Amino acid sequence: MGWIPDSTLIRGSGASAAARASAWMAAMGSSAEGIRAADDAAAGVAADRTSPVPPVAADADTVARPPLVRPRDCVATGVAAGLAAHLGWPVWIVRAAFVALTFVAGAGLLLYVWLWAFVPWSPALPSAPGAAPGAESAARPRRRAPVAWLLVGASAAVLVAAWISSRSLVRAEADDWAWWFQTTLAGVGLAVASGAWSTFIDRPDPERGPRSELAVRATATGLLVVTALALVFGPLAALGPVPVFAAALAAVLGIGLVYAPTLIARWRDLTGERTKRIREEQRSEIAAHLHDSVLQTLALIQNRAGATSEVARIARAQERELRDWLYAGDAPRESDLVTDLRDFASALEIDYPVTVDLVVVGESREPAGGELAAAAREAMLNAARHAGGEVSVYVESRPDAVEVFVRDRGPGFTPADIPGDRLGVRESIIGRMRRAGGSATVLPGAGGVGTEVRLRFPAEEETRG
């Protein structure tokens, strides 16, 4: 890429360049500015390597200044606004300075591109409360200017200028081939830049998106086709075949380059997908292997060590964790009543000599941390603490209600026998469910063995509607 002139600058700015390397990757996105720099080089504009480097110097001598960052709500790249804020100058002065310096052997343009590459975006603002889904869009920079269209317009203007100058060449009023050639190349370069900008920078922007990308690219292509045809079949071809055909070739290559970013983007998607697939395959291979070896061994350990021994509990906890990892995949777990109870059950199994068998029927819509979940946890804790052994937990979500049954096989008790000062059952389970609009009963288990707690909670629309 024609970005080499900057390598010296990168070296020159030392540590700060390293720190900004990531910003470079992000901001460059790619070839747009590289191509523009190439145009400059082609146009004979030498890079001004001795140009001052204000941001670095400013960083050194004043601390009170706002840091040099690009605001996320910007016109095109945020360079001018960011630099103005940093220096405490009005924005228009900075812009004017860039334009003025550009006439000094292109220094302004080069400085602009360099700052664009290395100055990071301002840190994302903490989003407004309740704007969780919008967080991503808040973090994304918003560009007010339709840069791609401006580039297309500039390209058209430059190509028209080249055409006008070609007229004077044809009429032999002038003999400035170099200027004509450079102008044509600059026009082609701008068209390519507009394509690259729309692909890499505008596409992820929800305000622009793929439709505008297509429109920009079609316009740029049209411009380049017309240019190429005008060059090849126009009167100028007879006068200076070599530069004219070189320019026409550049236009044709330009058409290719306008589409290259799409191909690159497509290729990136493909590699991304491939990597993902390979990872999935590897994962399932590992899962199959672990399933056949480690899970079997853990089951055997539990079996041999006796269900409630410490070794068995540890093995069971490990098995649960491994199973979660094997089958849950990368999908983030949604927190609801069931996952909440499942986590609580595994915690109980570590702390108490108990095995919890959790069976779930129906789609759970009950959130975690609700009153039902709290009461169910309390019932499970009681079962683990006072009964131990095997505890069965059954959750059934029906359209009209959610029911939770917690059953143990311990010594059993009835609420009437419990002294009034024991708050566990009376308050945390029965009282809590009644206050929340549900119901709870504590009964002796089937056949008089152990205890069964039944919790019932009507579906949302009946209670909270």
For other proteins, which is the closer residue by CB, 107 or 402?
A: 402
For other proteins, which is the closer residue by CB, 223 or 391?
A: 391
Piece of 7-15, 229-237, 244-252, 294-302 that binds other proteins (CB under 8 A) = 294-302
Size of the site for other proteins (CB under 8 A): 35
Place of tokens 């059950």: 345
Q: Is 300 in the site for other proteins (CB under 8 A)?
A: yes
Q: Is 284 in the site for other proteins (CB under 8 A)?
A: no
Specify the DSSP class assigned to residue 145: S
Q: Is 443 in the site for other proteins (CB under 8 A)?
A: no
For other proteins, which is the closer residue by CB, 263 or 350?
A: 350
Contacts of 28 (CB under 8 A, 6+ apart): 34, 117
451 vs 1, 380, 438, 448, CA distance in Å? Answer: 76, 11, 20, 8
For other proteins, which is the closer residue by CB, 136 or 310?
A: 310
For other proteins, which is the closer residue by CB, 8 or 293?
A: 293
Question: Dihedrals φ, ψ of 461, to 5°?
Answer: -60, -25
**Smallest distance, other proteins to C-beta of residue 400, A:** 9
- Give the chain's largest Cα–Cα span: 115
Q: Is 396 in the site for other proteins (CB under 8 A)?
A: yes
* DSSP codes, 343-396: HHHHHHHHHSSEEEEEEEES---PBTTSHHHHHHHHHHHHIIIII-EEEEEEEE
Q: Which amino acid appears at position 282 of this protein?
A: Q
Q: How many residues does the chain have?
A: 465
Contacting residue, 42, 76, 265, 307, with other proteins by CB under 8 A: 307
**Smallest distance, other proteins to C-beta of residue 316, A:** 7
Tokens for 73? Answer: 């709500």
Contacting residue, 129, 130, 206, 399, with other proteins by CB under 8 A: 399
Contacting residue, 274, 277, 304, 333, with other proteins by CB under 8 A: 304
Q: Is 303 in the site for other proteins (CB under 8 A)?
A: yes
Place of tokens 């960052």: 69
**What is the rounded distance in angstroms from the CA atom of residue 95 to the CA atom of residue 101?**
10
Q: How would you class 269 by CB atoms within 10 Å of its CB: exposed for 0-12, middle for 13-18, buried for 19 or more?
A: exposed
CB 322 within 8 A of CB 290: yes
Piece of 63-71, 105-113, 295-303, 332-340 that binds other proteins (CB under 8 A) = 295-303
**Smallest distance, other proteins to C-beta of residue 308, A:** 11
Contacting residue, 184, 219, 392, 451, with other proteins by CB under 8 A: 392
**What is the rounded distance in angstroms from the CA atom of residue 364 to the CA atom of residue 345?**
17
Q: Is 327 in the site for other proteins (CB under 8 A)?
A: yes
Q: Is 329 in the site for other proteins (CB under 8 A)?
A: no
- In sign, the C-alpha dihedral spanning 56, 58, 61, 67 is negative
For other proteins, which is the closer residue by CB, 1 or 359?
A: 359
Q: Which amino acid appears at position 184 of this protein?
A: T
Place of tokens 């994962």: 283
Q: Is 390 in the site for other proteins (CB under 8 A)?
A: yes
Q: Is 316 in the site for other proteins (CB under 8 A)?
A: yes
Contacting residue, 405, 412, 426, 431, with other proteins by CB under 8 A: 405
Contacting residue, 417, 447, 464, 465, with other proteins by CB under 8 A: 447
Q: Among residues 118, 111, 120, which one has the least CA distance to residue 53?
A: 111
Contacts of 149 (CB under 8 A, 6+ apart): 194, 216
CB 195 within 8 A of CB 214: no
Binding mask 330-359 for other proteins (x = CB under 8 A): ---------------------------x-x
Contacting residue, 144, 167, 333, 398, with other proteins by CB under 8 A: 398
What 3-state class would DSSP assign to 73?
A: strand
Q: Is 328 in the site for other proteins (CB under 8 A)?
A: no
Piece of 82-90, 152-160, 270-278, 442-450 that binds other proteins (CB under 8 A) = 442-450
**Smallest distance, other proteins to C-beta of residue 184, A:** 60
Compute the C-alpha angle 346/352/354, nearest 5°. Answer: 70
Tokens for 393? Answer: 């937990």
Residues at the interface with other proteins (CB under 8 A): 291-292, 295-296, 298-300, 302-304, 306-307, 316, 327, 357, 359-363, 390-392, 394, 396-399, 405, 407, 445-447, 449, 452
